[in-house]
Amino acid sequence: MKKSLLKIIALLLLIILPITVRAEEKYEITAVSDNQSEVSYTYSSYEYREIMGTTDKYIYIKGNGATYRLNKETLKEDIDIKDYNNYNLSMADGTLYNIKTREDNGTHYLDFTTYDQNVENPKTISIDSGIKDTSVSVGKKAYANGYYYVNYYTGSYWSNRTDYLIIFDKNGNVKKNIEVTEIESLNLLSVNNTIFAISSEYNSGGYDSYIYSISSDGEITLKLEIKNISINTISYTDSEYIALGNSYNNSSNEGPRVIAFDENFKETKNKLIKDIATDAYYLNYRIVKKGNEYIVFDKNQKKLNVLNSDLELLYQVDCRQNFLETVDYYGPYIEGDDIYIIGGYGIQDYSNEPAGNFIIKLEKPSVDYTITTKVLEGEGQVSSSKQKSASNELIEYTVTPAEGYKVKTINVIKEDNTKIEVNNNTFTMPEANVIIEVIFIKDTDTPKEEKEEEKEDKEEEKENPETYTGIPIIICLLTALSFISFLRFKQKYEWEK
């Protein structure tokens, strides 16, 4: 009875311990920028308040007709550019750029201007659009693999519109300039070094979405068609594309739905999350993936919801700041290892009321996981470059057999016995403790002394070949004589019988 009770207790410990060994690490707000300076021009479109990109030291955001550069660590404002002409700045491969249209004697040009990290020293290259005697506007733009992709169009935004796509390099050399009829309003996105265009078209039951890829030769390929959902943007993490859009059922808006698909555009997730996320009407509302978690704004757009791999709520991070309650938030954005969101206020209409922006940075506390080395059998040593490490760091290990031993097996595993991928004695630290197990066995190869004797025998064989070549002949003769004797015996036995 006592032994049975002990077994039950041990079993319970095995179940409980893995759950209680480590508390779940949650995202926390680690930096908040100051209220950005008020600007004289306000614009009510959510599309114009976003993160443009980051460099090693800085993060660039735009909103309300201005561009801001902030210190990446502290989020303290570094440069404030109150210039409406720069509201359409973008960033590609660490370079700030802008594209404007210009008319000269009936010919319309695209002026491609790049800036340094201080948003100074502009350098402009004029590119002939090929359009004459009609107005030209710049639409969406994106960058991938050394090429800029720019949508420009004639007519108005909503009617009599003809779309064009121009592709050129940093020196303004045009690779392709074509009229696009396949896609209505080119919504260009650069995701995973690939240019995509997303189009949502109205049908009798709501909207259908189409995702196209665009090559540097201007070839447009339909990759995915999704019925009854309106998608504006997609993100990419760990071989998975993920989109947030509004789902429709018989013209009724059901709320936000998540669609995920792999690199072959095979659907991996399709789930309505109307009780978790805010409606995804605008380009700056999105869902992003970080590790095994998905992050999206809640219904009231004041908190971030962190979801598990099944898109179920794990916990929330309150993003409201004490200096503002009536704030609209945009994002979230992933830049490197960090997550950012933008807050904006004073953009309820087109009036010149004060307006501004701020940005919030979220991180998970750094956690060091342990690396344990074990020799299960035999004699030898195993060591690792670190005994403790944060996740995603590269760890190298060394295995040295004792004299007379060799390595039989090496296992690099997590605490739950899940195997870890190893390449040349190096692995990436997971979000878990790691164990390196080694088994040594005795080296049964011929000892050194015997090898020396064999070497001497071979040398002697070379010197006296007749001695050694005669041995096989003698063996053959003895075998033949034995076989003959056997036949005679058999014959005699059968005759006597």
Amino acid letter for position 2: K
Residue 221 or residue 63, greater confidence: 221
pLDDT tier for residue 192 given thresholds of 50, 70 and 90: confident
* Cα dihedral 242→248→249→253 (10° resolution): 130
CB within 8 A of 343, min separation 6: which ones? Answer: 319, 321, 324, 327, 328, 329, 330, 357, 358, 359, 360
Give the pLDDT mean for 213-220: 92
- Report pLDDT digits (tens) over 149-190: 999 999 887 778 899 999 999 999 999 999 998 887 778 889
Nearest partner of 213 among 240, 239, 183, judged by Cα: 183
Rg for the chain (alpha carbons), in Å? 35
Q: What region, left, alpha or beta, does residue 416 occupy, with left being phi > 0 and alpha being psi -120 to 50 degrees? A: alpha
Q: What is the reported pLDDT for 199? A: 87
pLDDT at 220: 93
Distances 44 to 63, 84, 279, 299, 344 between C-alpha atoms, Å: 10, 14, 18, 21, 10
| pLDDT tens figures, 433-477 | 999 999 999 988 645 555 555 556 556 555 555 544 555 666 666
67 vs 149 pLDDT, higher one: 149
The total of other beta-carbon atoms located within 10 Å of residue 238's CB is: 8
pLDDT digits (tens, 9 = 90+) for 226-262: 988 888 788 888 789 999 888 888 778 888 899 999 9
Mean pLDDT on 317-338? 72
Does the pLDDT value for residue 210 go beyond 60?
yes
Could you tell me the two tokens for 337?
């290892």
pLDDT at 338: 83
DSSP 349: S
> Are the CB atoms for 272 and 279 separated by under 8 Å?
no
Tokens of 288: 């992003």
Q: Write a three-state SS string for 172-188.
A: CCEEEEEEECCCCCCEE
CA distances from 497 to 483, 490, 494 (A): 21, 11, 5
Q: What is the model's pLDDT at position 51?
A: 83
Output the six-digit token pair for 169.
Answer: 């390099």
The pLDDT value recorded for residue 2 is 47
Given strand 405-414, what is the order of strands in its sheet? 388-389, 369-377, 434-442, 405-414
Q: What does the pLDDT look like over 299-318, one tens digit per residue?
A: 877 788 999 989 999 999 98
Q: Are strands 434-442 and 369-377 parallel, antiparallel or unpaired?
A: parallel
At 204, is the pLDDT very low, low, confident or very high (cuts 50, 70, 90)? confident
Q: Percent of the chain, pLDDT > 90? A: 32
Q: Which residues pair with 371 in a beta bridge?
A: 434
What is the CB neighbour count within 10 angstroms for residue 140? 20
Residue 72 is predicted with a pLDDT of 86
Q: What is the DSSP letter of 423?
A: B
Residue 285 DSSP label: B
Q: What is the pLDDT of residue 4?
A: 55
Task: Report the alpha-carbon distance of residue 96 to residue 266 in Å, rounded.
Answer: 35
What pLDDT score was predicted for residue 384? 94
pLDDT at 84: 46
Confidence of residue 482 (pLDDT cuts 50, 70, 90): low
pLDDT at residue 20 in the model: 33
| Spatial distance between the Cα atoms of 135 and 152, rounded to a whole number of angstroms | 10
